């Protein structure tokens, strides 16, 4: 987290401004798991111009590939290895992302969603290689989010969720790095607060579509009627009108969540 923040400074973005692929097809939905990202994807996928895909691995794979560009000391480093890359390579990486995700797109809709939540770490990289891509941060009350992750058995890739302390620290790191992106890339990220979406659904959907430069469509309000494959733990929830039961759910288990509360400094 600290290495990411230290590297992606104002100077880096100024130096590498506009070097990426200008394609505006991708809409990245990031954040922690269980924060409403599937709901956001379902809403956007209900729009006539947007296709939902899945949690694509491409950006994470790209970061690992960059890390393997070893320096003279034979150290694998990301993101510092970006310093040694030619400006033309950033456009090439953006173009490769667009090309390599084509097999995930089954319609001719102009925009598609990449819903890999862990991509919040890589917003700086995304901006450099795809400066016109949209980025949406799905955020939820920290206790509700962390508790929901803690009680969910994920298939793979979310090892931090098996300890209250680890998930609390991960959430704090997420807040820290998102605060940095807000500072160095102002107005780049549109934040959707889950609780606001639950209480003021139509208003929040209109804000979301405006950010994505999409006209409002009624289908986005009846997102639960959209037929598409959803491969996340929220698959059943997005098949019904806005799901309110998850708000404040952690309070029923308050007695057993002291380690999480202490880590999040909620006491």
Instruction: Domain ranges for the chain, please list them.
Output: 2-263
Span 215-242, pLDDT tens digits:
999 999 998 887 645 455 444 455 556 7
Q: Which tens digit of pLDDT belongs to each residue from 89-123?
A: 999 999 999 999 999 999 999 999 999 999 999 99
- pLDDT for position 242: 79
CATH topology for 2-263?
Rossmann fold (3.40.50)
Contact 44, 28 (CB under 8 A): no
Distance CA 81, CA 160 (A): 26
Q: At residue 244, does pLDDT exceed 90? A: no
Q: CA of 172: how far to CAs of 1, 76, 139, 177, 251, in Å?
A: 10, 26, 12, 9, 20
Task: Say if residues 104 and 59 touch (Cβ distance below 8 Å).
Answer: no
**Which has the higher per-residue pLDDT, 15 or 244?**
15
- The three-state secondary structure class of 159 is helix
**What are the b/e assignments for 12-31, b being 16+ CB within 10 Å?**
bbeebeebbbebebbbbbbb
**Residue 11 CB neighbour total at 10 angstroms:** 9
Tens-digit pLDDT profile for residues 251-263? 888 999 999 999 9
Whether pLDDT at 159 is above 80: no
Residues 117-149 have pLDDT tens digits of 999 999 999 999 999 999 999 999 999 999 998
Least confident of 34-38, 150-154, 185-189, 208-212: 150-154
Q: Classify 143 as helix, strand or coil.
A: helix
Structure tokens at 45: 């996928």
Residues linked to residue 191 through DSSP beta bridges, in sequence order: 137
**So what's the pLDDT on residue 73?**
56
pLDDT digits (tens, 9 = 90+) for 34-91: 899 999 999 999 999 999 998 999 999 999 999 887 555 545 589 999 998 999 999 9
CB contact set of 212 (below 8 Å; sequence gap of 6+): 27, 44, 50, 111, 134, 190
Extract the tokens encoding 72.
């003279």
Q: Model pTM?
A: 0.90
């Amino acid at each position: 987290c600290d290495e990411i923040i230290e590297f992606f400074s104002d100077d880096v973005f100024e130096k590498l401004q506009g070097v990426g692929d200008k394609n505006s097809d991708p809409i990245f939905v990031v954040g922690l798991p269980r924060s409403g990202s599937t709901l956001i994807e379902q809403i956007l996928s209900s729009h006539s111009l947007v296709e939902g895909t899945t949690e694509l691995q491409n950006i994470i794979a790209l970061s690992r590939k960059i890390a393997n560009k070893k320096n003279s000391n034979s150290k694998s480093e990301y993101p510092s290895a970006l310093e040694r890359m030619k400006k033309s390579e950033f456009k090439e990486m953006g173009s490769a992302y667009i090309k390599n995700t084509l097999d995930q797109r089954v319609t001719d809709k102009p925009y598609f969603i990449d819903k890999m939540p862990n991509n919040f770490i890589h917003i700086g990289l995304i901006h450099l290689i795809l400066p016109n891509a949209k980025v949406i941060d799905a955020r939820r009350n920290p206790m509700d989010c962390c508790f929901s992750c803690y009680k969910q058995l994920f298939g793979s890739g979310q090892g931090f969720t098996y300890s209250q302390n680890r998930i609390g620290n991960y959430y704090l790191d997420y807040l820290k790095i998102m605060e940095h992106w807000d500072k160095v890339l102002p107005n780049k990220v549109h934040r959707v607060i889950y609780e606001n979406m639950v209480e003021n659904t139509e208003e929040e959907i209109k804000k979301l579509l405006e950010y994505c430069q999409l006209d409002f469509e009624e289908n986005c309000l009846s997102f639960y009627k959209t037929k598409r494959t959803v491969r996340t733990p929220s698959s059943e929830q997005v098949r019904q009108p806005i799901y309110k039961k998850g708000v404040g759910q952690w309070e029923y288990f308050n007695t057993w969540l002291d380690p999480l509360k202490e880590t999040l400094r909620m006491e």
